[in-house]
Structures are given as C-alpha cells and as structure tokens.
Amino acid sequence: MSIGKGNFISMPEIASTYSIVAMDIEAGEIGAAVQSHFFSVASAVLWVEPGAGAVATQSVVNRQFGPDGLGMLASGKQAPEVLEALLKSDPGKAFRQAAVLDVLGNSAVHTGSSCVREAGHRSGQYFSVQANMMLTPTVWEAMEAAFLSTPGSLSDRMLAALKAAEHEGGDIRGKQSAGMKIVKTRASGDVSVDTVLDLRVEDHQNPLAELERLLDLNTGYSLLEAGDTAMEKREITAAMDYYRRARELLGENPEALYWHGVALLEAGDIRQGLDILKPLFDKQPNWLELTRRLPESRLASFDIIRLMKEQE
C-alpha cells in the first residue's frame, strides 16, 4: 500500500527511480531529471518552479511534497527547513525518498528506512542525487561523480548523471520513462524565458536515449524560435544565423529548412534560398502556399511566385 497525508490507499504509487536535482549558478538555472520503470515518472517525481527551486519525491510517492515544498521555497525558506517540514507532517516518511534544492544552491535529501534496497543518496552544494530499488548500491555515487565531472550545460550534466545510473544497473525492474525540467533561478514572469526546457518521455523501451534525442530537438527548436523572433524584428542576419544553427541540429527537418530558406530570400540571396525551398515545394505544395501568405502577415516582403519565375 502507499501512504499519503496520513491516508492508506489501496493501490501503490511506487516510483522506484533515480533522480537528480541540480543548479548551474553561472547560467542562473535550476532543474531536475529522472528515470524509472514507472509510467510518466516525471509527472509524479519532478516539481520545479522558477524563482523557487526543485523538489523530487519518489520511492512510495507523496505528490503533495511537490506543491507544498515549492510553496515553502517560494516563501524564502531554505532547502533543509523545507524538507524537515515536509517529513514532520508525513506519517509515511519511512517509505519516502525526497530531495529539495533551493535557488541559493542549498540541498537537503532524505532516504527513508523502509525504502526498498538498494537505496541511497549523495548531495552537496548545488545538487543532490538519490535512488531506490536499484540493482546495485553504486548508482548514486556514480551519478554524483558524473554530474561533478561532466562539462557543459545543466542539461548535459544531469543527463550524464542519469546515464551513469543506468550504467550501474539502474532500476532493478528495468526502464520505462524519463523526464527533465529546467527553469531560471530568478523568475521574470515571462514563461518563455523562465522555463528553459520541460521534456518527458512517458513510455519508451529506451527512455534515456529518447530523452537525449528530445534534448537535441529542444535546442534546435529553441534556435528556430529565436530565428522567428529575429525575423519579426527584421533582424535578417541574426535570423539566418539562428536558422543555420538549427539546421545543424535538426538536419533535414522541414521547419528548419523552410525558415532558413525564407530568411535567405528576405536577405536577397535568392538562388540559395530557392535551392532550399524548391525541393520542399515539390514534395509538399502546402509549403509554397504558406510562402505566398507570408507577406500578408508581414513575415516576408517578397513575392515567391515572381522570384521563382525570374529564376527559371
């Protein structure tokens, strides 16, 4: 049975898992990541809010730890105080595994005495890693080492920690889902800025590989979005650079190809722009119709039909 807020429930919610809560102080980012043999694990385990911090609740999950913990963090309480308060009001704390990280980088973590072994955690300034029902007792130490030694972005480092856990055997039952969420440590009130990424793999044979693929897509589409914003501001050179970088990540993705081609046409590079766009038009005429409509919304100043006729 599972225990939550003092009530005994007939069906368990045992999110045996490994997770990490972590912060990049230079980037001003805080986040959490998880993998488990449990459907849609991120929706149960990960709770992250801009300007507040991160909470991971797992083992026999008490989901209320998420909103309650974030509320206390947002009020200015630090991680150790928050975790103490969560556990004090929870009669099932022996079954819980939970970690809290505040925007100052303070971490606090708890592994209850009734968590199914192998279970344990490691924590320090700016991070905490925790795991339960693992195949081996080396998982959390491997996660810590991977996070601390991996260069790059916060997403790169958290993914490395998850991979290290899987390399040590991971969840004794196998794998099913994963997720990662990263936000800004200082909330601006602009959701497009405050949430850096929010990705979930709900059900997959290899959730970490799928999460890694989605992370690449997320970066590519973020570059596309930056290119769109630059186009809106008529910053054509900047837009072309964003679209070019997006294509490097997204390959032959039609969105990346299309908007790069449009930016080239808008910049006056007609031949190269049409070289990119014509194959898309041939495969799917709707792309051509879309291009005809762009001037109506002031997203382009050219007449695509006229340009194509001039290049014949």
pLDDT tens, position by position, 185-239: 999 999 889 999 999 999 999 999 999 999 999 999 999 989 888 888 889 889 8
Q: Which residue has the higher pLDDT, 305 or 16?
A: 305
Same domain, yes or no, for 58 and 162?
yes
Domain with 106, as residue range(s), is 2-204
Q: Which residues on neighbouring strands pair with residue 56, listed in sequence order?
A: 46, 99
For residues 208 and 301, give the distance between their C-alpha atoms in angstroms, rounded to a whole number: 43
Phi, psi of 45, rounded to the nearest 5 degrees: -95, -40
What integer pLDDT is reported at residue 232 of this predicted model? Answer: 82
What integer pLDDT is reported at residue 180 of this predicted model? Answer: 98
113-120 contacts: CB < 8 A, separation 24 or more? 115/59, 116/16, 116/59, 118/172, 119/59
| Total domains present in the chain | 2
Closest by CA position to 269, among listed 232, 243, 298:
243
What integer pLDDT is reported at residue 236 of this predicted model? Answer: 86
73-102 mean pLDDT: 97
What integer pLDDT is reported at residue 14 of this predicted model? Answer: 66
Closest by CA position to 50, among listed 68, 20, 23, 26:
23
What integer pLDDT is reported at residue 15 of this predicted model? Answer: 64
Is the pLDDT score of 1 beyond 50? no
Q: What is the torsion angle, in degrees rounded to the nearest 10, for the CA atoms of residue 151, residue 80, residue 179 and residue 141?
A: 50
Single residue among 174, 204, 234 that ends a domain in this structure: 204
Single residue among 175, 204, 233 that ends a domain in this structure: 204
Same domain, yes or no, for 36 and 178?
yes
Same domain, yes or no, for 195 and 250?
no
73-77, 134-138, 252-256: lowest mean pLDDT where? 252-256
Same domain, yes or no, for 112 and 237?
no
Is the pLDDT score of 5 beyond 50? no
Phi, psi of 55, rounded to the nearest 5 degrees: -135, 135
Is the pLDDT score of 133 beyond 90? yes
Q: Which residue has the higher pLDDT, 157 or 11?
A: 157
Is the pLDDT score of 91 beyond 80? yes
Closest by CA position to 19, among listed 57, 63, 72, 51:
57
Is the pLDDT score of 26 beyond 90? yes
Closest by CA position to 246, among listed 233, 227, 262:
227
Is the pLDDT score of 262 beyond 70? yes
* 215 within some domain: no
Beta strands of 170-298 (E only): which ranges?
Answer: 177-184, 195-201
Same domain, yes or no, for 151 and 17?
yes
* 187 within some domain: yes
- State the chain's mean pLDDT as an integer: 93
Same domain, yes or no, for 149 and 243?
no
CATH of the domain at 97: 3.60.20.10
